[in-house]
Amino acid sequence: MRGVRHIALVSLLLTACQASHGDSLGPDEFRARFAASWCERALRCGAAGLRWERWCEPSAGDLLGAAAFMVYDEELARRCLEGIEEDASCAPDGPEACARAFHGAVPEGSPCTFDRECAWGTYCNDGIVPIVFSSLDATCTGVCEPWRGVGEECGDEAALGCGWYLRCGTTPGDPVRRCHEPAAEGEPCGAGCGPNLTCDQQRDVCYPILEATGRPCDPEGIPAVCPGQTHSCSTEGVCQPRPSPTAGPGEACAPGQCPSSFACVDGVCLALPRLGDACDEARVCTSGQCVDGRCWAPGPGEPCVDGWCRGWCDEAGLCRAPLAEGEASEGHWQCAWPTLGGGCVAGRCIPEIGRCE
């Protein structure tokens, strides 16, 4: 469950539109409302100045981290939206219901592959970290076990196992990684700072994010003083907000004012083209190459371009079609489902990783 919790933790600088209990709230609608809420509350909680301010909403729903083997709970989704609207603390973990709206269903003591498939209150011990794997030699390698409590060892990055809101890390005088409550303002950073705080790594102290502007820092210094998402260290040696786009999609602009994945074309912010879309020198393709005014990429049977195509590239540089279920594979990139829903297990493509019988 760690993957769901920790993705949700980052996302829950949010607010929400209150859902009407008279209408159905499907997973897609919940994801959209969640995204709008995140952006709105992020601004109220000091995120104005973030470079992603203009495009956070299109990507925010992905922070819920739903996968093929997870279960959607409409009642918890409603409680998530309502709870965030009522919560003015800007706490990063937010209402518990938000982390549980998409949840695992594998009970304690049962085989598992990922944390995210285990029931709430448990994690997959000896499971897989889905962000880093490229191919699995085996699946169902772990067992869903209860979260670990304050002071208990939390192992390595592959099996943190700490309970809701707890952080895994070391503290001064104790090199062993343990589960800890987040540090308060003025305390050593330890395993992580609490709500609305960031770590001054040079001084090892937690301080309010909203007090970052003007804080002394060393522009050449490592570790960092400024919160990296919102601020940078100026040449004058103080933390300053990172620049934000000043024009949104479809708005009037000058060069350099549009958000990521957009370009200022004829004075208007336009989305950068994808495969098949019209392109030119001003509108650079987000994938593929601009050929005869269209974004193009080689398909199966054609030579790859810069190691990329609409499929996967073999050692000879030829594009191959994605492999179907049951076909022999060397890695997830060759399969038709290169996501958490499926991939390469024990040398063959399967449509869904994480179902343990």
The reported pLDDT for the residue numbered 185 is: 92
Greatest C-alpha distance within the chain = 64
- Does the pLDDT at position 6 exceed 50? no
pLDDT band at 161 (very low <50, low <70, confident <90, very high): confident
Query: What SS3 class is residue 45?
Result: helix
The reported pLDDT for the residue numbered 139 is: 65
What is the gyration radius of the CA atoms in the chain, in angstroms? 23
Segment 98-125 shows an average pLDDT of 85
Each residue's pLDDT tens digit, 135-154: 555 567 788 999 999 999 88
Q: How many CA atoms lie within 13 A of 161 on its CB side?
A: 23
* C-beta neighbour count of 195 within 10 angstroms: 19
Each residue's pLDDT tens digit, 181-211: 888 899 988 777 887 788 898 888 999 888 8
Which pair of structure tokens corresponds to residue 48?
């104005």
Kindly write down the DSSP assignment for every residue of 265-304, as one continuous string.
Answer: ETTEEEEPP-TTSB--SSS--SSSEEETTEEE---TTSBP
- Does the pLDDT at position 256 exceed 90? no
Each residue's pLDDT tens digit, 260-293: 677 888 888 888 888 888 888 878 887 778 889 9
Q: Is the CB of residue 222 less than 8 Å from the CB of residue 231?
A: no
Give me the helix-helix angle, 27-42 and 74-86, nearest 10°.
Answer: 10
